[in-house]
Every structure is written in C-alpha cells, then in structure tokens.
Amino acid sequence: MRTPSDQAGEVLKFLRCIFFFSSLDEVSWRLLAQASKFHRLEKGKVLFLQFDPPEYAYIVQRGNISIVLSSADGRDMIINEMRPGDMFGELGLLTRQPRSTNAVARTVSDVLVIPRDAFLHIVDAEPQFARRILEVTAQRLQQSGEREGALAFMDAQARLARLLLELDRLEKETGYITISQEELAHRTGLIRQTVAKALGKWRDQGYVLTRRERIILLNHDALREMSNQIIV
C-alpha cells in the first residue's frame, strides 16, 4: 500500500519532467507534490462538466482528454485534445468563472489533479511560471480564433481536410490517424453522414485509405489545397 509520502514522491518525479514547471524552485515543487494527486479515468468518463465551478488544474500523465463544447440544442463539438504533458483547466482558476467546456477521457487516462489554492500560490510566488501561463493562454486563444474562422468560412471538406492535417502533424506526419467518423464529426461541427460522404469521395480519388476508426493519408498536397478553400 502506497503511503502519502510515496504518492508525493511520484508526483514530484512527474512534475520535474514537465517543461512548463521547470522554472519552479524546490519549495514550490514540494508544495505542489504534497497538495496534488493522480486520478484515473476510464474511457468515456467525465472529468468535469461545462458550468462546473473551477476547483482544480490538471496535467495529463497518460492517455488523452477531449475538451468538448456543448451547445444549447445538445450538440457536442471537440475543440481540443490534451495529451501527456499538457496542462488544462488553469484558466478557470485564474478567472474564477465556471467551466466553459466539458472534459472527457478519450482513452483510459491518468491526470494529475492540482487544487486551486496550491496552484494560485505558485502563480503568486513564481513570476516566470505566471508568464508561461500567459503565453499558453495567448496561444490557445489564437488557436481558438483560427478554429472559429475555419467554422465560419470553410465548407465541410475544407474543415475535414484541415483537421486531418492537424491530427497528422500531432502524429509527427506519419500519415496514420486513429479516429472514428463520429469523433471527426464532433471536432468539425459536421454530422457523421457528411464526414462519411467526404471520406468516401477522397477514398475513391486516392487521397485516403479508411479502416475501422483508422485513416491513412495518401495525398497530403490535395488535402492541403482543400484545407485552404473558403466559402465565397
């Protein structure tokens, strides 16, 4: 049976490997290690819901966490995906505003849970850490603006091509993507039938190969050309 000291040691070892926290001094590291804990989520389990009060920041240790926006009419759209080493949920701790999205485990996932008081103490005590928070927030706002532009000005095929190229970039441009048509629909604001129709057309044209929850990109240039098209 693990003792609190063992758990704190595991947390400290993990934090030392996260670049985002590399500027912290030893006191701050140990404070976070004592206050934080790991939490396991099974696939499909909810970490927090839209409009929940912000109580924790999170860092993915293992797995993938989907950040999901829900509309008033019940539709869901995946707007981001947190991978190992990514931190999320920190903006709510700074603004004290309710969560603006849901967070759902895409796979079996382990996350480090950091309580608000400990997180804000580090923000106050470590100026360089606070600056990194601002940099990450600015980057996410920029990505959010680009995503909104894609939804406003791109047709269905352009949205889908743009997402596939983005996922391929995250996979180090291997051309091999593991994702379902349902999730592609959620991440592009489209319906599943539209996604299936586009993939079928591209398969016939030799742009992609599709298998069950797997897509292989064969013609990156053609997809890039489509991703740059806008509605006129």
CATH of the domain at 214: 1.10.10.10
Q: Which of 99, 115, 148 is the C-terminal boundary of a domain? A: 148
Q: Does 27 fall in a domain?
A: yes
Q: Which of 90, 122, 148 is the last residue of a domain?
A: 148
Residue 126, amino acid? E
Judgement on whether residues 99 and 168 belong to the same structural domain of the protein: no
- One domain, residues 63 and 130: yes
> How far lies 63's CA from each of 39, 66, 110, in Å?
12, 10, 7
pTM of this prediction? 0.74
Q: Into how many domains does the chain fold?
A: 2
125 and 34 in one domain? Answer: yes
Q: Are residues 14 and 124 in the same domain?
A: yes
Q: Is the domain of 56 the same as that of 163?
A: no
Find the domain containing 91 and state its range.
Answer: 4-148
Tell which of 148, 171, 198 closes a domain.
Answer: 148
- As a whole number of angstroms, the distance between CA 145 and CA 155 comes to 17
**232 residues of the chain, pLDDT tens digit each:** 556 677 888 999 999 988 888 888 899 999 999 999 999 999 999 999 999 999 999 999 999 999 988 776 667 778 888 999 999 999 899 989 999 899 999 999 999 999 999 999 999 999 998 888 888 888 877 776 666 666 666 788 888 998 899 888 877 777 788 888 988 888 887 888 999 999 999 999 999 999 888 899 999 999 988 887 755 4
232 occurs within a structural domain: no
Neighbours of 128 (CB within 10 A): 10
- Written as six digits, the tokens of 207 are 């742009």
| Burial readout 131-143 (b: 16 or more C-beta within 10 A, e: otherwise) | ebbeebeeeeeee
Within 10 A of 168 (CB to CB), how many other CB atoms are there? 19
**Do both 25 and 40 map to the same domain?**
yes
Kindly state whether residues 29 and 144 are assigned to the same domain: yes
Statement to judge: residues 198 and 95 lie in one domain: no
Evaluate whether residue 130 is within a structural domain.
Answer: yes
CATH of the domain at 15: 2.60.120.10
